[in-house]
Amino acid sequence: MLKIKELETPCLVLNRSKVQRNITTIEQRLARLGASLRPHGKTAKCIDVIRMLAPQHQKRITVSTLKEAEYFFSHDITDILLAVGITPSKLPRLKNLIEQGAQLTIILDSIEQVVFVSQYAAQHDLNIKVLIEIDCDGERAGIPWDDDQLLAVGRALIAAPGVTPIGIMTHAGGSYHCKTPEQMIQMAEQERTAAVKSAQRLTDLGIHTEVISVGSTPTALFAENLEGITEVRAGVFMFNDLVMAGLGVCHFDDIALTVLTSVMGRHTAKQRLLVDAGWMALSRDRGTASQLVDYHYGAVADEHYNQIRCLSVNSTNQEHGIIECQSQQASQFRLLFVGTLLHVFPNHACATAAMHDRYYVTDDGVTISDVWHRVNGW
């Protein structure tokens, strides 16, 4: 059996037991709150990971790209929510998926989108299901629940041929800025309240809001009340990362994904190591920069996953990672020779995984039990 120390670096290593533990944690929590999980495929982008979920959570999925939608549909998941605003260029591929049998739902937040989607749908004899995107925290896209634009878009959908409004969705991106558990709980409730109130406004307008969808990993794991919510979307919880650990969403030991890298150079005078994982392997995501602990481009651990706290990936070039060591820890630095294997824990699992085409799966941290391929691109 192939051992981790025999892998060519840089590469992704995925700890299956940690993934299963992370999945079980969120499934049990949502079950207690009476909410259904619509897993987000954007982090894993891999059917083997989705198949680790409970059977009832494998039947539908959230995606960020049509490439993901096509991939998961090819693996027999037909109920698909494309959770990024629609543009005209995507409609032909959307049509192909629907005609092949996909139960595809899109999101929009403007009358302009209603117009071009309706025109295309009517021209091609389609019926496209639509969720209106709600802005619950001022972070990204969507319509505030109390904005008159919500009713204007709702009326436009009612009058437009070829589209069927079925509810709303929102995403609490602001949860990534929370500093305390109390703030996270408050953000989860803010997300829920905006979703329920916007759905009620649309119901009063005559739209049957069968879907009231919320979601982010932080709010999913801190929510104390999901009354009125029909589904929760989350994805990064499967792997977790340093940002999630910094938010208190998980512990460091819950991070299931690492980049295996090799030391390829030493600068003793500067207490610096060069490794073969640059930004092409780690990404340029600096998500921990605003948190209490800034891991720069990733936390460093030895080949046995023991964190080496005096080391951090302080900078990256395309194929070079530069790890710096605190001078008072020179004794540890001297143990790291050219060829030494290190694990780098990622700031943002989605961004780091996107740089690779496969996971080397381990159950014991020593041997590789599977190789799981992932889909990339748009």
Query: Which has the closest alpha carbon to 168: 204, 193, 134?
Result: 134
At which residue do the structure tokens 């680790």 appear? 52
| For the chain, percent of residues with pLDDT exceeding 90 | 93
Go through the domains of the chain in sequence order and give each one's CATH number.
4-10+256-373 (2.40.37.20), 34-238 (3.20.20.10)
Banded pLDDT at 330 (limits 50, 70, 90): low
pLDDT (mean) for 218-223: 97
Residue 349 has pLDDT above 80, yes or no: yes
pLDDT at position 334, please? 73
Q: What is the pLDDT of residues 252-289, one digit of tens each?
A: 999 999 999 999 999 888 889 999 999 999 999 999 99
Do you find a cis peptide bond into 39, omega within 30 degrees of 0?
A: no
How far from each other are the two terminal CA atoms of the chain, in whole angstroms? 35
Q: What is the pLDDT of residues 93-129, one digit of tens each?
A: 999 999 999 999 999 999 999 999 999 999 999 999 9
Q: What is the pLDDT of residues 19-39, one digit of tens each?
A: 999 999 999 999 999 999 999
Q: What is the pLDDT of residues 65-98, one digit of tens each?
A: 999 999 999 999 999 999 999 999 999 999 999 9
* Beta strands, E only, 215-320: 231-234, 257-267, 272-275, 299-302, 307-316
pLDDT at position 332, please? 72
Give the C-alpha separation, 53 to 28, whole Å: 11
pLDDT at position 335, please? 77
pLDDT at position 176, please? 93
Question: Is the entire prediction scored with pTM above 0.75?
Answer: yes
pLDDT at position 364, please? 95
pLDDT at position 336, please? 86
Do you find a cis peptide bond into 144, omega within 30 degrees of 0?
A: no
Those residues whose C-beta lies under 8 Å from the C-beta of residue 156, and which sit 6 or more positions away, are 111, 114, 115
